[in-house]
Amino acid sequence: MLNLAVIGAGRYGTNIIRAFKQVESELEVKLVSICDINEKVLKSQCEKYNVQGYVDYREMFEREKIDAVAVATPDPFHKDPCICAANLGKHILVEKPMDITVEGCLEIIEASKKNNVLLQVDFHKRYDPYHQQLCRDVRDGKFGEIEYGYVHMEDRIEVPSEWFRDWSYLSSPVWFLGVHFIDLVRWCIRKNGRCAYATGNKIKLKGMGIDTYDSISAKVVFDNGVSVSFDSCWILPRSFEAIVNQSIRFVGTEGIIECDTQDRGTRLCSNKNSMETYNLGFILESKDRAGNTVYKGYGIESINDFVYNITYLENGGSFENLKKYAISAFGEDGLESTKIAVAIHKSLETGQIVYV
Ligand SMILES: NC(=O)c1ccc[n+]([C@@H]2O[C@H](COP(=O)([O-])OP(=O)(O)OC[C@H]3O[C@@H](n4cnc5c(N)ncnc54)[C@H](O)[C@@H]3O)[C@@H](O)[C@H]2O)c1
């Protein structure tokens, strides 16, 4: 039996807790404890999921036998719990971005290597079946050599202004959203970033007392010369038809591929909410035969993938095979995405092209 824990039991931590609870019925794993510095959040999650709660992850690690942990603290606060977990020999699933500094990513990687634990980053875009097909088509050369691409990922304004108003000023649309697609592009074309140039605006959120970018337009050139524009923002109006708006396209020497991952073809218009578009591929709530609530979708699969990976390793599987065959993002992937995002932020500050 592998014992699991979650550090950071807020909005996305809840999704991880649900996924861990659900996978208990399938694999020899058990969610044993949760840690959150917010006692109110902690109490309600522990009552709901019937697990032990701790406000300090060090105490949790001392008191509980834990084999693997998911870290879902705010963007700038992943490093310390990850390093602590690695040094105590726990496998780690860390939310994106792995860390918002290159040095931080390197430290986490070093600790995980030294202690021979799995370090996986939750880049769920890889698990979207439409992206998997896109990636296969790119790698099979179906539309020749890729020349350029375009990505946008945009959130509605309640995300930075309400969902985590207390820490959105410490993040940015690139840290919160952009890294998802930076990882996806890297994964598809199997190249790292070479340089970045970016512009951005601080208007709307700054006016609301939140000192961070509303939007960032970045051009990234990868090692093979492919250039991809990444537009990210988190100030779409509340009346927009979905919480996220996103798409990716590539143009190659022999063709083009476009993937609108926001509008999958089903829209609802009602007097109550105006227009709504579903992205059911991400997280779909349903019931099992016993009437229990079940969550499916690529937002759950990427978490399950971590549990499959650690189960595989504990049963004698090798890291080499995981790195060769799994679609998972590992520590080095987290590092490379962070390198690009850091270059984007440096370019925003300097107005220059920044080499990764
Ligand atoms: N993969 C995805 O699609 C996805 C979606 C949303 C958020 N995220 C990521 O998940 C992470 C958390 O985001 P969120 O939206 O859940 O934020 P949130 O603010 O809802 O939750 C963060 C929680 O961490 C707790 N916390 C902070 N410091 C802590 C510490 N030292 N020890 C224990 N708990 C601590 C806070 O009290 C809070 O409850 C972020 O890195 C974010 O980018 C990923």
Q: pLDDT tens-digit profile of 256-295? A: 999 999 888 888 999 888 889 988 899 999 999 999 999 9
CA 22 from chain centre, in angstroms, equals 20
Residue of minimum CA distance from atom 41 in ligand 1: 75
Which DSSP symbol is given to 132? H
Q: How far is CA 152 from CA 3, 163, 246, in A?
A: 38, 21, 5
CB atoms near residue 155 (< 10 Å):
22
In tens, the pLDDT along 165-184 reads: 999 999 999 999 999 999 99
- Give percent above pLDDT 70 in the chain: 100
Q: What is the C-alpha R_g of the chain?
A: 20
Res 278: pLDDT: 87
By CB neighbour count within 10 A (0-12 exposed, 13-18 middle, 19+ buried), where does 335 fall?
Answer: buried
Q: How far is the CA of 225 from the centre of ligand 1 (A)?
A: 35
* Position 151 pLDDT exceeds 90: yes
Q: Locate 214 and state its tokens.
A: 């509303």
Res 90: pLDDT: 98
What domains can be seen in the chain, in order of their start residue? Answer: 2-123+290-329 (3.40.50.720), 126-288+339-355 (3.30.360.10)
Q: How far is the CA of 276 from the centre of ligand 1 (A)?
A: 26
Which DSSP symbol is given to 283? -
Q: How far is the CA of 217 from the centre of ligand 1 (A)?
A: 25
Tell me which amino acid residue 168 is. S
Nearest 10 degrees: Cα torsion 295, 301, 303, 307: 110
Instruction: Give 107's pLDDT tier (boundaries 50, 70, 90).
Output: very high
Q: How far is the CA of 149 from the centre of ligand 1 (A)?
A: 30
Q: Locate 125 and state its tokens.
A: 């875009």
Res 210: pLDDT: 98
What ligand 1 atom has the least distance to the C-alpha of 12? Answer: 16
Tell me which amino acid residue 272 is. K
Report DSSP letters for 142-191, one per residue: TT-SEEEEEEEEEEETHIIIIITTTTGGGS-HIIIIIHHHHHHHHHHHT-
Region of 70 on the Ramachandran plot (φ > 0 left; ψ -120 to 50 alpha; else beta): beta
306 vs 262: CA distance, rounded Å: 25
CA 315 from chain centre, in angstroms, equals 27
Res 58: pLDDT: 98
Region of 312 on the Ramachandran plot (φ > 0 left; ψ -120 to 50 alpha; else beta): alpha
Omega cis (within 30) before 97: yes
Q: How far is CA 345 from CA 8, 166, 169, 196, 209, in A?
A: 26, 21, 14, 9, 21
Res 244: pLDDT: 96
Q: How far is the CA of 78 from the centre of ligand 1 (A)?
A: 9
Nearest 10 degrees: Cα torsion 232, 261, 6, 338: -40
What ligand 1 atom has the least distance to the C-alpha of 302? Answer: 1
What ligand 1 atom has the least distance to the C-alpha of 73? Answer: 24
Q: How far is the CA of 71 from the centre of ligand 1 (A)?
A: 8
Pocket of ligand 1 (CB under 6 A): 7-13, 35-38, 41, 57, 72-75, 77, 95-96, 122, 124, 163-164, 176
Strand (E) positions, the chain?
Answer: 2-7, 29-35, 52-54, 68-71, 91-95, 119-122, 146-156, 193-201, 215-222, 227-236, 244-252, 255-260, 267-270, 274-277, 284-287, 293-296, 329-330, 354-355
Res 14: pLDDT: 97
Mutational pocket test of ligand 1: of 69, 83, 95, 234, the residue with most ligand atoms within 8 Å of the beta carbon: 95
282 vs 287: CA distance, rounded Å: 16
- Please state whether beta strands 29-35 and 52-54 pair in parallel, antiparallel, or not at all (unpaired): parallel
pTM score of the predicted model: 0.97
What ligand 1 atom has the least distance to the C-alpha of 175? Answer: 43
Q: How far is the CA of 9 from the centre of ligand 1 (A)?
A: 7
Confirm if 309 and 120 have CB atoms less than 8 A apart. yes
Task: Pick the closest to residue 339 from 217, 229, 192, 191 (CA basis).
Answer: 192
Mutational pocket test of ligand 1: of 6, 11, 303, the residue with most ligand atoms within 8 Å of the beta carbon: 11
Q: How far is the CA of 74 from the centre of ligand 1 (A)?
A: 4
What ligand 1 atom has the least distance to the C-alpha of 282? Answer: 3
Res 100: pLDDT: 98
* Mean pLDDT in residue range 29-50: 97
